[in-house]
Amino acid sequence: MKYRIPILLFSQERAFFLARAFRKPAAAVSSRMPNLKRDLLEAGMINLAPIDFISVALLMFVVLLILLVSVFGLVGFLAYRNGILSVQTIYILTLSAVVVPFFYFIYFLEYPKLEAGKRRSLIETQLIFATRELMIKLKSGVPIFNALLDIAMGDYGLVSSEFKIAAEEIESGIPQDIALDNLSRRVPSQSFKRTIDIMLNAMRSGSDLAATLDIINDMLVRKQQSDMQAYAGELTPLSMGYMLIAVVVPSLGMSVFLILGSMAKINVTLFIYFIPALLIMFEVLFIGLVKSRRPAVGV
C-alpha cells in the first residue's frame, strides 16, 4: 500500500484484515456517501475502495467502544468499591464511552477530505513553477512526454509525484491524453484540474501547447494574487474581532461582571477560573481559522 492512514489503533494491514467482518454494514453506509470514492482518490488513496475504508472505520468504532467501556467500567467499579460512585459519575462515564467512539468514527470518515485539503495546498504552492518549466521546455522544442518526465523528476513536491504517475501510465502504453485525464481526476486542486483540462483541449485541437501554457501560467499568477488580496481584506475584520474578544471582553467585561455580581450577590469565583481556559480555546480556534483561510500561493 502506498498510502497510510495515520489514525488507526493498530497496524494498517491488520486493520484491513479484521475489517472484512464489517463489509455488509459498510455497504449500507457507502450507499449514503456517493462522494467518498472521489474523496479517497483526491486524498491519494488510489486503490482503496469506499467499502473497505468504511469497514475499517466501523472496526475502529467497535474497538474503541469496547476499550472505553472496559476502562470506564473498571473506573466505575473502583469508584463503587470506595463508595464515591454517584449517579452523575455513571452518566458521565456512560456518555463518554459512547460519544468518544462516535466522534472518532465521524472524524475517520472525514479524514479523506482533510487529507485532500492538505494535498491541495501543497500542490497549489508548486503548480505555477511546474507549469512555467513545462512551458519553457515546450518552447525550446522538447517533446511533451520528455517535458512531463522532467517535471516528474523535478523538485515540485506533489506536483512532481502526480506527473510521475502520469508518466508511468504513458510508459505502460496508456495514451497521453488518457493519462492526463486520469491525473485531472486524481488531484484535489481545482487550479490543477483546469490546467490539465486546458492542456488536453489544446493537445486534442492541435493548438500551440507552449502558448497555451503561457496563458495558463499568467492566469494562475493573477488568481493567486487575487486570493492574497481577498485574504488581506478578510484579516481586517478578523483582527478587530480578535481584539474585541481577546482583549476588551476579558478586561472591561470582567470588571463589569464583577460589579454586577457583587451588587446581585453572585459568587463569581468559579467563573473567574474558567476565563483562562476559554481564552486559550479561543486563541487556538482563532489561529486555526486564520490558518485555514490563508490561500496556498507560490508567487
Q: Specify whether 36 is located in the same domain as 110.
A: yes
Q: pLDDT digit of tens for each residue in the chain (299 aa)?
A: 466 776 787 788 888 888 888 999 999 888 888 889 888 888 888 788 899 999 999 999 999 999 988 888 887 778 777 777 777 777 777 888 888 889 889 989 988 888 888 888 888 888 888 888 888 888 888 888 888 888 988 888 888 988 898 889 998 888 888 988 888 888 888 888 988 888 888 888 887 888 888 888 888 888 888 878 887 787 788 788 777 777 777 777 667 766 766 676 666 665 666 677 777 777 777 777 777 677 766 55
Residue ranges of the alpha helices (H) in 140-175? 144-152, 158-171
CB atoms within 10 A of CB 26: 23
Question: To which residue does cell 519553457 refer?
Answer: 136
**Residue 139 within a domain:** yes
Q: Specify whether 101 is located in the same domain as 155.
A: no
pLDDT tens track for 100-129: 889 889 989 988 888 888 888 888 888 888
Contact 148/134 with Cβ under 8 angstroms? yes
What total number of domains does the chain contain?
3
Cα distances from 118 to residues 83, 108, 123, 179, 296, in angstroms, run: 50, 16, 9, 23, 10
Residue 264 in 3-state DSSP?
coil
Q: Specify whether 17 is located in the same domain as 113.
A: yes
Q: What pTM was computed for the model?
A: 0.72
Residue ranges making up the domain that contains 177: 122-221
The residue from 62, 82, 117 where one domain ends is: 117
**Residue 5 within a domain:** no
Q: Specify whether 142 is located in the same domain as 201.
A: yes
Q: Specify whether 67 is located in the same domain as 133.
A: no
The residue from 68, 99, 117 where one domain ends is: 117
CB atoms within 10 A of CB 264: 8
The residue from 85, 117, 149 where one domain ends is: 117
Query: In one letter, which amino acid is 181?
Result: D
Give the model's pLDDT for residue 1: 47
Q: Specify whether 141 is located in the same domain as 126.
A: yes
Contact 227/121 with Cβ under 8 angstroms? no
Give the separation between CA 40 and CA 16, rounded to whole angstroms. Answer: 16
CATH of residue 185's domain is 1.20.81
